[in-house]
């Protein structure tokens, strides 16, 4: 039996258990360092499968690591399990219908992501045991990918320093090796402190923190014309200091999310935003406090690893969907616009029929990415260890992520099939590398070549701790 066939069989042996596991995570959607039920289920599964467990890693109560094996190369499999707020949705239907007992929903498919990654780690563990191979596999259960940047804290604090290769995946509308394209970002809270006063009788005695925020936003808006096209700046009011219009507000907080194509560009842009905040404070005679909330780096690619994963894709082929999968996909597609459907193809750079309900191909490695660009804390892992990701079809072509439609498909048969496929791709990529250690050496040489010229500067400064809510 070929290497990949053996590890795929080991995935198949436990697929039903992990499908149920994924559905259980789906049914308890938790957000941003509050994933206590989800991490508990992951910890139980790790214990059941015989992994050595480390809980609460990096001062994060909802982070867990499982390890199996001794000596040899260390392969990290990255998992996530956080949901998104405001995306409550009943599964298996083609209309928006929130679930009554929760406001959250798995709008990015992280119930599938964590389950497939843990299944892949389990299959690798079983393969090492079966073949008496010396190597180590680690499963990193990572919380708060959606805005909390858990992996960035882990990368900064050295949790990947002795890892040889990191492997992960993400649910998608297509099958491919992930293009290493993402935006670095930094979330920073700006709190302005002024002086309260009666807004009518003595406004001249007050110094408005809200005025300072508005002036800061004006400055940032003018900056938009003079920054790289790929950069982005978004903001949200976190604290307006109260809702009384007849008071000059003495304190107010705004969060700015600053994105750039790479770390160097990000650090430069952050400095400019800091100057704008200082200017707003100067104009309003207020003071400003700047506090980094989270940050992530852009993805760093590794051609050696990407070619190896593409080889595994070519052997395995696309996810095999059936008639029932296609029928439900078409029901979901009826809720999309043509623009949303076109975006799926732009992201993968492939021409295909617009009426394609589910992806039935594997994109070639040289396909181009022409769609929008987001951010991920996997980027920071890729700056400290050679990293590769898969994208695996789990939902209808055209599905925009972070929407109720994604949630509606999160427990579908198509999603489950994609999840199992992802576990196979990750597991066989890992076993390929373990059997050919010279490829690991090549991947690390490529990584070192880049890092020697562009050293990693974590976007989260030392001393900043994960924003875990205290009881």
Tell me the domain boundaries of the chain.
3-181+299-453, 184-296
Residuewise pLDDT in 10s, the chain (471 residues): 576 789 999 999 999 999 999 999 999 999 999 999 999 999 999 999 999 999 999 999 999 999 999 899 999 999 999 999 999 999 999 999 999 999 999 999 999 999 999 999 999 999 999 999 999 999 999 999 998 999 999 999 999 999 999 999 999 999 999 999 999 999 999 999 999 999 999 999 999 999 999 999 999 999 999 999 999 999 999 999 888 999 999 999 999 999 999 999 999 999 999 999 999 999 999 999 999 999 999 999 999 999 999 999 999 999 999 999 999 999 999 999 888 888 877 777 777 778 899 999 999 998 887 777 889 999 999 999 999 999 999 999 999 999 999 999 999 999 999 999 999 999 999 999 999 999 999 999 999 999 999 999 999 999 999 988 765
Q: Are 250 and 195 in contact (CB under 8 A)?
A: yes
CATH assignment of 3-181+299-453, given 3.40.630.10, 1.10.287.610, 3.40.640.10, 1.10.10.10?
Answer: 3.40.630.10
184-296 belongs to which CATH class? Answer: alpha beta
Q: What is the pLDDT of residue 98?
A: 97
Q: What is the pLDDT of residue 354?
A: 81
pTM score, whole prediction = 0.94
Distance spanning both ends of the chain, measured CA to CA: 53
Distance of CA 413 to the CA centre of its chain: 23
Q: What is the pLDDT of residue 73?
A: 97
């Amino acid at each position: 039996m070929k290497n990949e066939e053996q590890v795929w069989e080991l995935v198949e042996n436990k697929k039903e258990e992990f499908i149920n596991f994924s559905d259980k995570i789906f049914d308890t959607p938790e957000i941003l360092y509050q994933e206590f039920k989800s991490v508990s289920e992951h910890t139980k599964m790790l214990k059941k499968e015989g992994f050595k467990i480390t809980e609460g890693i990096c001062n994060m109560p909802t982070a867990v690591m499982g390890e199996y094996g001794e000596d040899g190369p260390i392969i990290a499999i990255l998992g996530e399990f956080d949901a998104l707020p405001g995306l409550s949705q009943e599964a298996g239907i083609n209309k928006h219908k929130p679930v009554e007992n929760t406001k959250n929903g798995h709008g990015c498919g992280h119930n599938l992501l964590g389950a497939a990654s843990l299944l892949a780690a389990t299959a690798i563990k079983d393969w090492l045991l079966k073949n008496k191979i010396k190597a180590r596999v680690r499963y990193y259960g990572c919380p708060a990918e959606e805005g909390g940047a858990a992996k960035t804290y882990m990368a900064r604090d050295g949790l990947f320093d002795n890892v040889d290769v990191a492997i992960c995946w993400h649910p998608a509308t297509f099958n491919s090796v992930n293009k290493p394209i993402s935006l670095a970002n930094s979330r920073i809270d700006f709190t302005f402190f002024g002086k309260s006063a009666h807004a009518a009788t003595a406004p001249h005695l007050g110094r408005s923190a809200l005025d300072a925020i508005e002036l800061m936003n004006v400055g940032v808006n003018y900056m938009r014309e003079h920054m790289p096209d790929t950069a982005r700046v978004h903001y949200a009011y976190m604290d307006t200091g109260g809702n009384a219009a007849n008071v000059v507000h003495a304190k107010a907080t705004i969060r700015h999310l600053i994105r750039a194509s790479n770390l160097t560009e990000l650090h430069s842009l952050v400095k400019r935003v800091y100057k704008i905040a200082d200017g707003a404070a100067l104009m309003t005679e207020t003071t400003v406090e700047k506090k980094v909330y989270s940050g992530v780096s852009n993805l760093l690619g590794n051609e050696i690893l990407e070619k190896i994963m593409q080889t595994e894709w070519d052997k395995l082929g696309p996810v095999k969907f059936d008639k029932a999968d296609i029928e439900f996909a078409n029901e979901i597609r009826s809720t999309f616009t043509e623009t949303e459907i076109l975006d799926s193809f732009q992201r993968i750079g492939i021409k295909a029929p617009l009426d394609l309900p589910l992806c039935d191909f594997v994109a070639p490695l040289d396909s181009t990415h022409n769609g929008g660009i987001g951010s991920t804390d996997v980027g920071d892992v890729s700056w400290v260890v050679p990293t590769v990701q898969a994208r695996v079809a789990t939902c209808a072509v055209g599905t925009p992520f972070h929407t109720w439609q994604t949630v509606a498909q999160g427990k579908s048969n198509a999603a489950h099939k994609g999840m199992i496929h992802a576990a196979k791709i990750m597991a066989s990529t890992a076993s390929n590398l373990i059997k050919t250690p010279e490829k690991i050496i090549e991947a690390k040489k490529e990584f070192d070549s880049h890092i020697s010229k562009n050293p990693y500067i974590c976007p989260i400064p030392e001393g900043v701790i994960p924003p875990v809510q205290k009881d």
